[in-house]
Amino acid sequence: MSLSKNEIDNLNKIPSMEPCAWSKPNLKKVGRNIYDLLNMPSTKRQAWKARPVNVEIKPDHLYGPKEVRVVLGVSYDTAVRTMERMKRSADLAKPRARKRLLRVKGSDLRDYVQGKLEG
Tens of pLDDT, residues 29-52: 888 888 877 777 766 555 555 555
Distance of CA 48 to the CA centre of its chain: 8
The answer to whether residues 65 and 102 touch, using CB atoms and an 8 Å cutoff, is yes
Query: What does the domain layout of the chain look like in residue ranges?
Result: 62-118
Assess whether pLDDT exceeds 80 at residue 13: no
pLDDT, mean of residues 4-28: 62
Instruction: Fill in the amino acid letter for 71.
Output: V
Residue 104's φ and ψ, nearest 5 degrees, are -135, 140
Confidence of residue 1 (pLDDT cuts 50, 70, 90): low
Give the single-character DSSP code of 95.
T
How much is the pLDDT for 49? Answer: 56
- Between CA 23 and CA 10 the distance in angstroms is 21
State the average pLDDT over residues 1-26. Answer: 60
- Entry pTM: 0.53
pLDDT at 76 (0 to 100): 92
pLDDT band at residue 63 under the 50/70/90 scheme:
very high
**Cβ neighbours for 69, distance < 8 A, ≥ 6 positions apart:** 75, 76, 78, 79
